[in-house]
Amino acid sequence: MKRFLALIATCATVLGLTALFSPQAVAAAGCKVDYTVTSQWQGGFQGGVKITNLGEPVKGWTLTFAMPDAGQKVVQGWNAAWSQSGSTVSVTGVDWNRDLATGASTDLGFVGSFTSANPKPTAFTLNGVACTGSVTDPPTDPPAPGGTPVDVNGQLHVCGVNLCNQYNRPVQLRGMSTHGIQWFGKCYNNASLDALAKDWKSDLFRVAMYVQEQGYETDPAGFTSRVNSLVDMAEARGMYAMIDFHTLTPGDPNYNLDRAKTFFASVAARNAGKKNVIYEIANEPNGVSWAAIKNYAEQVIPVIRAADPDAVVIVGTRGWSSLGVSDGSNESEVVSNPVNATNIMYAFHFYAASHKDNYRATVSRAASRLPLFVTEFGTVSANGGGAMDRASSIAWLDLLDQLKIGYANWTYSDANESSAAFKPGTCNGSDYSGSGVLTESGALLKSRISTADNFPTG
């Protein structure tokens, strides 16, 4: 298959702000736009637009710009209302980003098409006025207050298609998933979680509790206790904990419906007072229809809500949580028939060496319609092995960053497979921080996760 080209073509353009509700439009002190092409393929591309307000607060905005080539079209956009007339593109803020305080930024994105050329857009204006800012202005996003990810963001919730923090601003959580805790329990201890929180600077710890395969069904009380203990360990280090009801075989989650109700009633009641818990109710449904998955979700979610009404719940999707792509379908079945519940997101999984252009295109489209979370992904083949595909992995990570889609990598373990972050035998010792214990995949993920989050707080 063809691959996305990792094109980073950043430009910054001088803009203007309108002082709304005044007798006439007045240029504010300044603002800027960062325009990027994060991915490009034959006849199509993904673009990002970041608006930063360097002047007075603005209540309500419309950004316009011109596509230089007649063949360039906006196919679908997100985080704003997008339209195009001829070569002119208009973008209007939505409820959660309509107001821009001084120093505030908002990130927008779109999928575009082109026929022969794809030059950068020109003639950016904001509320019809050119601005006096410039690319030499210092960064104006206020730094996030000190503290852990949970300290800064507090209780999370879904707003529009985004995961949002206590300030109602979109955030991206980046972290790691355990392997099956029935097999690799020795990998999850104080030393390894200290390394994840402090050295990796991870926001998220996903706890993969298999239901079958020597998992929960063999000892419900014991596995429930182990999950709760790992949630506490993540909380103590300021990380979010994703409780993963790791169903895989059989693929119909309804097979485990009663077990799910029992488990989630227990963990939701026990952890309802925490701000760091996210519930993932079915890992990878497979060989089953979306209607059956939806039916399962609409029975399990009320059980969680009865005890914990505020936590985010993530629903698995068809085709091993591929939004149906691995079954020859796409996101349209979820868009047209969503789960009847609020404060939910939909899971998407990929393995970079196996899942490339058509999967990335699906995520790009779906992100403007559905709140997505990549609750599991690997840098290797779908079987968890083979060589790491660095180019595809980076293309995926760049896309998720651009769309502010959170992710958990498979796996924070020393499994004898190339998807593992640690070399075999690491969990027999106490060193989880040194570069010598990391696999190629682990080194890549640590380098990405440990970069600054810059969570918005305005």
Six token digits for residue 102:
């001084």
Residues in the chain: 458
DSSP string, 52-94: EE-SS-EES-EEEEE-SSTT-EEEEEESSEEEEETTEEEEE--
CA 105 to chain centre: 19
DSSP state of 219: -
Please, are residues 205 and 176 in contact by the beta-carbon 8 Å criterion? yes
- The reply to whether 284 belongs to the active site is yes
Six token digits for residue 325:
């792509």
Please, are residues 45 and 73 in contact by the beta-carbon 8 Å criterion? no
Of the residues 235, 331, 333, 376, only one is catalytic, namely 376
Of the residues 235, 280, 284, 333, only one is catalytic, namely 284
- Max Cα distance, the chain (Å): 72
Please, are residues 79 and 107 in contact by the beta-carbon 8 Å criterion? yes
Please, are residues 322 and 359 in contact by the beta-carbon 8 Å criterion? yes
Please, are residues 319 and 329 in contact by the beta-carbon 8 Å criterion? yes
Task: List all residues 6 or more positions away from 73 whose beta carbon is below 8 Å from its beta carbon.
Answer: 67, 84, 112, 113, 114
- CA-CA-CA-CA torsion sign (84, 85, 86, 87): negative
Please, are residues 171 and 161 in contact by the beta-carbon 8 Å criterion? no
Q: Select from 196, 317, 198, 195 the least CA-distant residue to 251.
A: 317
- The reply to whether 376 belongs to the active site is yes
Please, are residues 441 and 380 in contact by the beta-carbon 8 Å criterion? yes
Helix (H) or strand (E) holding 163: strand 162-164
Six token digits for residue 92:
């209007």
Six token digits for residue 302:
């009320």
Q: Select from 100, 15, 92 the least CA-distant residue to 56.
A: 100
Active site amino acids: 284, 376
